[in-house]
Amino acid sequence: MAPIAVGNVVPDGSISFFDENDQVQTVSVHSFAAGKKVVLFGVPGAFTPTCSMQHVPSFIDKAEELKSKGVDEIICFSVNDPFVMKAWGKTYPDNKHVKFVADGSGEYTKLLGLELDLKDKGLGVRTKRFAMLLDNLKVTVANVESGGEFTVSSADEILKAL
C-alpha cells in the first residue's frame, strides 16, 4: 500500500489508550478525529532514545503553542500495547496535552502504509517516524522520516505549517 499523503483522508481503524479514569478505550480513528484539527505523530518505539529524548519532548514542549494555533488533539502513536504507552506517557510528568495511543498489532500502521521493518534489530515491524496534521480527517501535512532519521517530524516542523 502507498503511504498516506497530503490530500488523503486518513483510513478508519482502531487505536487504544487509557482514559482519564484509567480505563482502556479502543476507538475508531474517524470517531476520535472527525471535525477536529489533530497532530498525529508516530514513533518506532516507546522508551527508545530518539523517540524519548527528542521526538516526544518536542511535542510536549510545543503543545501550548500548537493548541494556540487551533490544534485540538496531539497524539503520540506507536506499535505497542496501551499498557506500554501509558507507562511511557507517565515518564513525562509535565505533559498536559499529548495523548499516548497504541496500535497494538500494527494494523493501523499498515492502513497508513507507514510500516518500518526492524526485525533485524529484534523489534519486529514498527511505525515509521512521522508527523501529520489532520483537519477533519484530511491530511494537510505529512512529514515522514527515512530510516532512523529525525529531521522533518518535530513539533517545530508542524508549527511551520500552521
In-domain check, residue 13: no
**Within a domain: 73:** yes
Query: Is residue 15 in some structural domain?
Result: no
Q: Is residue 20 part of a domain?
A: no
**43 CB burial (10 A radius; 0-12, 13-18, 19+):** buried
Active site residues: 51
Nearest 5°: the CA angle 36, 38, 43 is: 155
- What CATH number did the domain enclosing 90 receive? 3.40.30.10
Residue 44 lies in a domain: yes
Q: For residue 124, tell me if it sits in a domain.
A: yes
Residue 75 lies in a domain: yes
Q: How many domains does the chain have?
A: 1
C-alpha cell at 146: 527515512
For cell 507517565, name the residue: 90
Q: What's residue 88's pLDDT?
A: 95
**For every one of its 162 residues, what pLDDT tens digit does the chain have, with 9 covering 90 and above?**
678 999 999 999 999 999 999 999 999 999 999 999 999 999 998 888 788 888 999 999 999 999 999 999 999 999 999 999 999 999 999 999 999 999 999 999 999 999 888 878 877 678 899 999 999 999 999 999 987 789 999 999 999 999
Establish if 68 belongs to a structural domain.
Answer: yes
On whether the pTM is more than 0.75, the answer is: yes
- What domain range includes position 155? 36-161
Residue 139: C-alpha distances to residues 6, 10, 30, 39, 147 (Å):
5, 7, 13, 10, 22
